Amino acid sequence: MTPNILVVDDEPGIVQFVRGALEDEGFDVTTAADGRRAVEMAAARAPDLVVLDMSLPRLDGAGVAAELRRLHGDGVRILLITADGRAPEKARQVGAFDYLAKPFDLNRLLDKVQAGLTS
């Protein structure tokens, strides 16, 4: 079964970049541009992994992470992405398995996604 990855970011260029890279690797990718929409999508279909930005309209990344855990338990795999210099701290706060600071390298993204799906 193909892993389903939810990409949540309000920057269209980031979403397009991440979605294209993940789809090229054979993943099933859905996207959301705000936190509320991300929660709605995750409620309709549990993602295998979430690539989550912290700065989002309508519900920030911390709020999205809390809602994902409420919906699907502590096993939700979150890869945090942020332009903020406090990525490690924020990743710990939301219970992410790992993080990437923007801008990030495509190969690092793919390596972290693979690691998140296999751990």
Write the CATH number for 65: 3.40.50.2300
Residue 84: the pLDDT is 84
Helix pair 106-118, 12-24: axis angle to 10 deg: 60
Q: Considering the domain boundaries, does residue 78 fall inside one? A: yes
Q: Considering the domain boundaries, does residue 29 fall inside one? A: yes
pLDDT digits (tens, 9 = 90+) for 65-106: 999 999 999 999 999 999 988 999 999 999 999 999 999 999
Domain assignment of residue 41, given as a range: 4-104
Q: Considering the domain boundaries, does residue 88 fall inside one? A: yes
Scanning the chain, the segments in alpha helix (DSSP H) are 12-24, 35-44, 61-72, 87-94, 106-118
Q: Considering the domain boundaries, does residue 118 fall inside one? A: no
Q: Are 49 and 23 in contact (CB under 8 A)?
A: no
Q: Considering the domain boundaries, does residue 32 fall inside one? A: yes
Cβ neighbours of residue 73 closer than 8 Å, sequence gap 6 or more: none
- Asked if pLDDT for residue 17 goes beyond 90, the answer is yes
pLDDT above 90 covers a percentage of the chain that reads: 95
pLDDT above 70 covers a percentage of the chain that reads: 100
Q: Considering the domain boundaries, does residue 71 fall inside one? A: yes
pLDDT digits (tens, 9 = 90+) for 49-73: 999 999 999 999 999 999 999 999 9
- Number of structural domains the chain divides into: 1
Residue 110: the pLDDT is 97
Q: Considering the domain boundaries, does residue 119 fall inside one? A: no
